[in-house]
Amino acid sequence: MSESTEISFEQTRKDFLSFLKYTKGHSDTTCYNYNSDLGIWQRWLLEAKLDWQNCSPTDVEHFVSHLSREGVGAHAVARKISCLATFYKWAKRNSKVQEDPIYQIEKPKRPRRIPVWLETEEQNAFIKATRNYDDIPDNIFGRSRDSLLEVRRRYELLFELIQKSGLRISEALGMKNRDVRVVDGVAKSLRVIGKGNKERQVPLPEAFGRVLALSIGGKDGDEYLFAKKPGGKPPTAHAVRAYLKKLIEKAGIDKKVTPHKLRHTYATRLLEKDVQLVDIQALLGHESIATTQIYTHAGQERLSKLVADI
């Protein structure tokens, strides 16, 4: 691969990522994943002495074999090929390449993952642990107990919000006070900007709505809902996951629980109440009903309980 081709790939990658972010409205996390996967593809091409503009479907199949030999899981392999498919489709449409090598290959199917969620008992234990402040020290690293208590309550509200609305962590952290519709002291719904800059309205249960409305009372509408300080930024998704991990351990729950698993929990509770998949799809902001169908496990759980004592 010549030096000019290498520079061409770098510029093309930057242009592609700009297209994803500013035209398609993809999140920073999605763009980061695309950038990472394209970097892995680029390094393999360099080692194989192949030109990214003139590689063949057979080259792509060799790349898949290489990933498998390196121990990359089936789901991750499928994601990388999906990334390349989007990249080369865009590149051909914009006259960066003459042929799309991904179009002609049989793409690996993503293995279906059974979602992880909290059972009702686990959810109750998690809420109890979150609201138990006995583990908060009087002082740590120069921070007072009051300061640490404020942090705990911010996370408590964040985790409850996800369990009551099914928001993605990026959606929750990007939410501002003005996105909460408050009527007579009750937060009725949330204005959510989801994937692809698509807007949806998510209703809230009344009891939680009162708590949320109280928390934002008198605050600037342009301020982030979970700002670490007035006028400041919210915590990072990484910090949220780390704090959640500590609370899950405190609750004695033997599962790997992430903010996205709390979103799964929300969807599971809805399905247990016989909410239709098409309504869950709208609430979660899924583009396709096929994505929502992973939650049919809840229906199977309920049927299993019904026949347990026959």
Q: Where do we find the tokens 């290489």?
A: 66
Low-confidence winner among 46-50, 71-75, 295-299 (lowest mean pLDDT): 295-299
- Cross-strand pairs, 144: 139
Buried b (16+ CB within 10 A) or exposed e, 182-215: beeebbbbbebbbbeeeeeebebeeebbbbbbeb
Q: Residue ranges of the alpha helices (H) in 70-176? A: 74-93, 120-131, 145-165, 169-173
Q: Which amino acid is at 192?
A: V
Q: For position 294, what pLDDT does the model report?
A: 66
Q: Residue ranges of the alpha helices (H) in the chain? A: 3-18, 28-48, 57-69, 74-93, 120-131, 145-165, 169-173, 206-216, 237-250, 259-272, 277-284, 289-292, 297-307
**59 has pLDDT over 90:** yes
Sign of CA dihedral 1, 13, 260, 279: negative
Distance from C-alpha of 271 to C-alpha of 298, rounded to nearest angstrom: 6
Q: Are 79 and 110 in contact (CB under 8 A)?
A: yes
Q: List C-alpha distances in Å: 88 to 26, 85, 92, 190.
A: 17, 5, 6, 37
Distance from C-alpha of 139 to C-alpha of 137, rounded to nearest angstrom: 5
Question: Is 214 or 271 the better-scoring residue by pLDDT?
Answer: 214
Q: Are 191 and 201 in contact (CB under 8 A)?
A: yes
**Would you place residue 15 in the very low, low, confident or very high pLDDT band (cuts 50, 70, 90)?**
very high
137 exposure class (CB count in 10 Å sphere: 0-12, 13-18, 19+): exposed
Domains of the chain by start residue, with CATH? 3-93 (1.10.150), 120-307 (1.10.443.10)
Q: Where do we find the tokens 């061409």?
A: 8
Distance from C-alpha of 254 to C-alpha of 194, rounded to nearest angstrom: 31
The per-residue pLDDT of the chain, averaged, comes to 87
Highest mean predicted confidence (pLDDT) among 28-37, 61-70, 206-215: 206-215
Q: Give the angle 184-186-189 at the CA atoms, nearest 5°.
A: 120
